[in-house]
Amino acid sequence: NLGRQLGDLNPLVREIAGRKGCVLAGATERPGAPALGQDAGLLAGVGPLGCVVGDDPKALFASVDAVLDFTTPKATLAHAALAAEARAILVIGTTGLQALDLEAIAAAARHTTIVQSANMSLGVNLLMQLTRQAAHLLDEDFDIEIVEMHHRMKVDAPSGTALALGEAAASGRGVALDRVAARGRDGITGARRRGDIGFAVLRGGNVVGDHTVILAADNERIELTHKASDRAIFARGALRAALWARGQKPGLYGMADVLGFTGQPG
């Protein structure tokens, strides 16, 4: 019994409609959105589901077991408060969340179960684990650079996933990312500082999301890459997170918890 806050309707609706034991129970959009009043199943191309898109998130949270949220930071904070009030599971795939946003989400998670991740892809979350382990095993002779590319319409940079990969690398080395991140290089920058974690951002076309973590030492280089070609992968991961969250105690979880990586070395 899953509610849906609409950021990109079709992949999530298709994933829910095709999963045995899951029912799309509600969907909301912003006031004035073209999808309002329409059947979510018809909009997603899977046939009528009897679920009409509305604009009342409070009513949605009160009537469902879990909500999948791929919206905006401002909307997500409101949804986290509603989830806490209704004791509904909330799965957050919204990007662009800042430190204060995450603090508010963590506060809401004291009252309900929330799974939040910068990227819901199962493959990307495996990449994060591999990045953490590689950074843990390889010393600072290996420079770490993170390169990401997304479509021309993406508004935040670096991507939330790139920053999460940076956090994974920093965690593997036991340092705080904000102390070692190199997020802008232009002009005469001087030599690369040992131990930095660098970020490079590319934008163009309709690229769904490419991320590469490079560990480069003298005479050898390791590259860990994930390429997304369809947003359906995020829907698949979000639905898996919602199903995993059933029966979990209130708290803030990540995809590492969903996939069982928590507590592993590195």
The answer to whether residues 24 and 51 touch, using CB atoms and an 8 Å cutoff, is yes
User: Rounded distance, CA 134 to CA 51, Å?
Assistant: 45
**Phi, psi (rounded to 5 degrees) for 69:** -120, 110
Of 150, 151, 211, 226, the active-site residue reads 150
Task: Judge whether 227 counts as a catalytic residue.
Answer: no
User: Rounded distance, CA 23 to CA 41, Å?
Assistant: 11
For residue 9, how many C-alpha atoms fall within 13 Å in the half-sphere facing its CB?
23
User: Rounded distance, CA 142 to CA 213, Å?
Assistant: 12
Instruction: Specify the 3-state DSSP secondary structure of 4.
Output: strand
Of 58, 111, 136, 154, the active-site residue reads 154
Q: How far is CA 64 from CA 46, 57, 69, 242, 245, in A?
A: 21, 11, 13, 12, 14
Task: Judge whether 249 counts as a catalytic residue.
Answer: no
Q: Which residues are catalytic?
A: 150, 154
